[in-house]
Structure 1
């Protein structure tokens, strides 16, 4: 099984921590966010991890070398030339993955106690093209899923912008995306988008005809560490746990 850590972002929301380093190398309770993500995926037994880089890419490469890739088969997808967003980043990384194996995607700024084995089991048994980890929490943007847990649409609650993937969106449940998702390798042959593009927009396009489902995560701990206040809050919780 493959995994991909999205680590190429500019980390603008996390300033001043990212003034001289990438978001991936910001520390949380003594460990960088990247190390925490790698260790979680390593404990799962993934066969290969691909990490995309752009902002302070050299520092991430040096960090991996210094730590001997944490004993994992790690490949770097270089986006120094152009930041490709989530969809473009996944597409560019295609040739670095073990062929014909699923890909577990994990945002580097996510801290979660989710049991990823449960996600893998549901994904495999459902024959879904994509399984997205969703939570019932407050957010400014929601993805909508019907009674079959099928993706039906997206809405930005601040602007009112709506993207409908299926006609039953208005009867569907709004859930917040957790930054963790698993994709069947068949997805790559369905990507027609070029350059930089959002993976959510790709999923919404494919949801019209493909099985794109929610995995509802009710685990105790989940943090988006993209802002200083969230990082500080998580720091205290993690120190108590560890």
Structure 2
């Protein structure tokens, strides 16, 4: 079993952060989105990974080499970002007919990975949503078999969204369908879609069964990222020792990276601070602050702050990218 993780997207909904940092590497509950995904699969016995990289791909490469040196890692460049289907097609020579698990690099799904991997056949993770027009949608019969799939339908016939996790056994057919769609220029919403390839596989007689994910955390934009951070902080039971920080109150859950210097602050709830951050005379809640940042005399709520950022003065809600210096005094 090999895992394919596409992480080549530009993350336009997370700008300005994604100008300098891949969204898969944004800090989240004492980890990163990508680390949570990798650890989840490693715990299930997956040790070979194929990362489809593009925009800021060197940061993904060095992060994996530094933080996950125990896995077999392959890196494939996607110079032209033409969709997830196109990204997966680039991994054909590395897959070599083996079974694969595809999981998108900006989405964390909670499900029984061991059960999915050890059960025979091909599977797609699904979850009921209120806005199926925004997702790839699956029509499923009473036995859990997927009858048809469609990407972001104008008139959905189902509210079961495909969450971005695909176990595929018939990989030769997958790559044949991807090649067919790309050669024919079959674009959906301007991209070569994995959903269209699965539709092709179903037409060729491949059986896909569905499995429901327990939880689904999206890192696609500021609001969903902050919500995911709050939920995962509670789930992981992250704790910080207030005695290390003079005259500071910590309201759990709070995650504080190594090397942080904090005094005269109120932090929490639902706050992740990146490593080597300096804070003084500040109040921060429901926020994510990147590494090597400096905060002084500021109030932050519902904020996403990039790395290497300096903030001084009073505010309420900010969305600021890396390497920024702002004096609000």
Please classify the TM superposition score into its range, dividing by the shorter chain length.
Answer: 0.7 to 0.9
Q: Which one has the bigger helix percentage?
A: 1
1:25-104 to structure 2, matched below 5 A, reads: 25-67=25-67, 69-79=68-78, 81-97=79-95, 99-104=96-101
Q: State the secondary structure of the residue aligned to 1:84.
A: coil
Partner of 1:222: 216
Whole-Å Cα distance in 1 between the matches of residues 151 and 46 of structure 2?
Answer: 33
Matched, 1:151 2:142: no
Whole-Å Cα distance in 2 between the matches of residues 53 and 218 of structure 1?
Answer: 26
Are the structure 2 counterparts of residues 203 and 188 from structure 1 closer, same or farther at C-alpha, using a change threshold of 3 Å? closer
Shift of 1:133: 0.5
Are the structure 2 counterparts of residues 199 and 78 from structure 1 closer, same or farther at C-alpha, using a change threshold of 3 Å? same
Partner of 1:166: none
Partner of 1:202: 197
Shift of 1:73: 0.4
Whole-Å Cα distance in 2 between the matches of residues 95 and 222 of structure 1?
Answer: 31
> After the TM superposition, which parts of structure 1 deviate over 3 Å for at least 4 consecutive aligned residues?
none
Which structure 2 segments of 5+ residues have no match? 184-190, 237-329
Whole-Å Cα distance in 2 between the matches of residues 41 and 77 of structure 1?
Answer: 19
Greater C-alpha Rg: 2
Q: State the secondary structure of the residue aligned to 1:95.
A: helix
Q: State the secondary structure of the residue aligned to 2:85.
A: helix
Higher RCO (C-alpha under 8 Å, 6+ residues apart): 1
Whole-Å Cα distance in 1 between the matches of residues 20 and 175 of structure 2?
Answer: 38
Deviations 1:190-216 (A, max 9, x none): 322337611111111222232342423
Whole-Å Cα distance in 2 between the matches of residues 154 and 90 of structure 1?
Answer: 18
Shift of 1:155: 6.3
Shift of 1:2: 0.4
Whole-Å Cα distance in 1 between the matches of residues 35 and 151 of structure 2?
Answer: 33
Q: State the secondary structure of the residue aligned to 1:207.
A: helix
Whole-Å Cα distance in 1 between the matches of residues 201 and 108 of structure 2?
Answer: 28
Partner residue of 1:238 out of 218, 232, 235:
232
Partner of 1:140: 132
Shift of 1:87: 1.2
Output the TM-score relative to the length of structure 1: 0.83
Whole-Å Cα distance in 1 between the matches of residues 50 and 172 of structure 2?
Answer: 18
Aligned 8 A contact 2:132 2:160 in 1:
no
Shift of 1:218: 4.7
